[in-house]
Amino acid sequence: MNCKPSPVIEITRGQKKPSLRARQKEVRKNQMIEAARKLFIANGYSKTSIEAIAETAEVGVATVYTYFENKEGLAAALIRSDVSQIFEEVDRVCENLPDDPAEAVVKVIDVFVNFHKFISAELLHEFANEAKIDGPVGEVWAWTHKSQIGAIAQVLIRRKEMGRVAASLDVDTAAALIIDLMDRHFNKLTTPRNMTGIEGQLEKFIHLLFADWT
Given a cut of 80, is residue 53 above it in pLDDT? yes
| One domain, residues 38 and 79 | no
Residue 165 domain-assigned (yes or no): yes
**Residues 135-156, mean pLDDT to the nearest whole number:** 90
CA angle 23, 116, 122 (to 5 degrees): 100
Given a cut of 90, is residue 58 above it in pLDDT? yes
Residue 52 domain-assigned (yes or no): yes
| One domain, residues 124 and 158 | yes
The number of domains in the chain is 2
Q: Could you tell me which of 213, 88, 108, 111 has the C-alpha nearest to residue 154?
A: 108
| One domain, residues 122 and 198 | yes
Residues 168, 172, 173, 175: is their CA dihedral positive or negative?
positive
Over residues 100-134, the pLDDT tens digits come to 999 999 999 988 887 666 666 666 667 666 656 67
pLDDT recorded at residue 18: 79
| One domain, residues 93 and 193 | yes
Instruction: Please provide the average confidence, as pLDDT, over all residues in the chain.
Output: 83
pLDDT recorded at residue 9: 44
42 is in which domain, residue-wise?
18-68
pLDDT recorded at residue 4: 56
Residue 3 domain-assigned (yes or no): no
Q: Comparing 45 with 130, which gets the higher pLDDT?
A: 45
Instruction: List the CATH number of the domain containing 40.
Output: 1.10.10.60
Task: Let me know: does 198 contact 188? Beta carbons within 8 Å.
Answer: yes
pLDDT recorded at residue 93: 93
Residue 188 domain-assigned (yes or no): yes
**What distances in angstroms separate CA 187 from CA 113, 171, 175, 192, one per listed residue?**
11, 24, 19, 13
Residue 1 domain-assigned (yes or no): no
| One domain, residues 91 and 145 | yes
> Structure pTM?
0.79
